[in-house]
Structure 1
């Protein structure tokens, strides 16, 4: 699969024949002393075993880290639904696109399934790697340090005060370079990941703050050659936009059905997309829905 392998700092940079900018992040490093790590607490989700998760100071990340500190988890109901899908479909692999501090990634890894997690923000991956080390889960997770876009490029990172997970990527910064800092990231396309997932069946969580359509447009080959069964995605940013209509068109052309993520028998109607919930799930039409 890989034509070349080398290390750059704490990165394991593996260059695939069709993805020279694909970057695998080393999960063996404990970044406990990293300045962004406020503390590591237990991720506790009903019916699942707990595992350590490192979080930001709630003063700069009230929505996710603050909620984890006060409640023990974040979006626990959606995570349990994904775990149920995985439990009902033993052949499925989990792909977490926009993993943030790793709530979904860690929960699914602790459940015992293999995970590939992608994020543009190096600070997030340092935190997830530390959580994996503390939870003895490094063998369950592959971390990829890349943004996902419709072309290979360098993207800037626009931070949202009070919400680290609300970080937005800025396209058009320039061509891909070798930057390894915290304020930009290399963007690859989903098609670059085809060699990893070809002949596999996936459930995907995608939360990349308005870049969802770009990710899809860079994944036409991916959706043809990889068996994507379920796709959970954030919808709130797209309900009233032209982008939302284009996402619906892209997915329906590939025979995906939009449903309520916690009520998968309830089909969502495209003409009512402005009333869809904040998170939706796409299910491949040929897939049997419980």
Structure 2
């Protein structure tokens, strides 16, 4: 769904990205770190990094995080100011798995959940990812935010 929209229209959430960039540019680059929780493919992270801001991005789906890393490398944005974390933010340390709604066409990355959200109770069939994911404590991220 997201990829098809991006291929057809050559954009994704362009007005939200413009708003984010306008707000971010009001802050000095040396006083702000862009925190992207649920970074997915990194559309927001890459834009912030391209403007020169340090970025901390976290996503539970290793596949999308690898794609973000490859995109950053291709765009020459992969440096020590782009920090990528794989995991869920939690207040405890645990190993979890992402569950996908099998009725969601293609089980795209955005359909994943680890919690007992209402949508999960209404789904007729869940697909559990084969890759376990560890949690990341918010305090661990704090050390990487300027």
TM-score bracket relative to the smaller structure = 0.7 to 0.9
For structure 2, list consecutive stretches of 5 or more residues without a partner in the other structure: 117-128
Query: In structure 1, how many angstroms separate the alpha carbons of the residues matched to 2:54 and 2:11?
Result: 20
Offset, 1:141: 1.4
Larger radius of gyration: 1
Higher helix proportion: 2
Q: How does 1:2-17 map to 2 (within 5 A)?
A: none
2:111 matched to 1:166? yes
The residue aligned with 2:82 is: 141
2:52 matched to 1:117? no
2:66 matched to 1:126? yes
Is 1:153–1:187's contact at 8 Å kept on the other side of the alignment?
yes
Is 1:123–1:182's contact at 8 Å kept on the other side of the alignment?
no
TM-score, normalised via structure 1 length: 0.41
The residue aligned with 2:97 is: 156
The residue aligned with 2:22 is: 84
Offset, 1:154: 0.9
2:136 matched to 1:188? yes
Computed over aligned residues only, the root mean square deviation of the Cα atoms, in angstroms, reads 1.9
Is 1:122–1:182's contact at 8 Å kept on the other side of the alignment?
no
Offset, 1:75: 1.2
Offset, 1:192: 2.1
Query: In structure 1, how many angstroms separate the alpha carbons of the residues matched to 2:38 and 2:26?
Result: 24
Q: Give the secondary-structure state (helix, strand or coil) at the position aligned to 1:196.
A: coil
Query: In structure 1, how many angstroms separate the alpha carbons of the residues matched to 2:64 and 2:23?
Result: 26
TM-score, normalised via structure 2 length: 0.78
Higher strand proportion: 1
Query: In structure 1, how many angstroms separate the alpha carbons of the residues matched to 2:78 and 2:11?
Result: 20
Offset, 1:195: 2.1
Is 1:100–1:124's contact at 8 Å kept on the other side of the alignment?
yes
The structure whose RCO (Cα within 8 Å, separation 6+) is larger is: 2
Query: In structure 1, how many angstroms separate the alpha carbons of the residues matched to 2:49 and 2:71?
Result: 11
Is 2:38–2:60's contact at 8 Å kept on the other side of the alignment?
yes
